[in-house]
Structure 1
């Protein structure tokens, strides 16, 4: 199993969202259609603008944290 760190962009609201998942396709569907609550709901639609693949959850979590930090931005 691999893990993806992804960056989504909402052109209609000029927002960016960073997350990680083991199933990117399913997660994108959730962000854009299936979810009924949460931060990403109000800024739909989302476009995938960047992704990175990692072999472990730990690596993905570490990279997600880095991207969300001042250093990563």
Structure 2
């Protein structure tokens, strides 16, 4: 979870390129939700919220139920 200025580049980095990121071993990554913001500041505030416990609760309650992860 986080923000980027280029979703395409981020997904290529996470799914194709060898990186030092420890999450690389869990590929392929699938985008299940995105939000667009006008400014980087807005994106950073939202990212910070989603990383907090209340934001994680929001994700579990509002976003994840839309998907069948079996």
Unaligned runs of 5+ in 2: 57-70
RMSD: 1.0
- Give the number of the structure whose alpha-carbon radius of gyration is greater: 2
Match of 1:50 in 2: 33
Instruction: Looking at secondary structure, tell me which structure has more helix per residue.
Output: 2
Alignment of 1:1-73 (within 5 A): 18-73=1-56
Q: Report deviation, 1:39.
A: 2.6
Q: Aligned equivalents of 1:20 and 1:35: distance in 2?
A: 20
- Which runs of structure 1 show a deviation greater than 3 angstroms over 4 or more consecutive aligned residues? none
Larger RCO: 1 or 2 (CA < 8 Å, sep 6+): 1
Instruction: Looking at secondary structure, tell me which structure has more strand per residue.
Output: 1
TM-score, scaled to structure 1: 0.71
SS in 2 for 1:51: coil
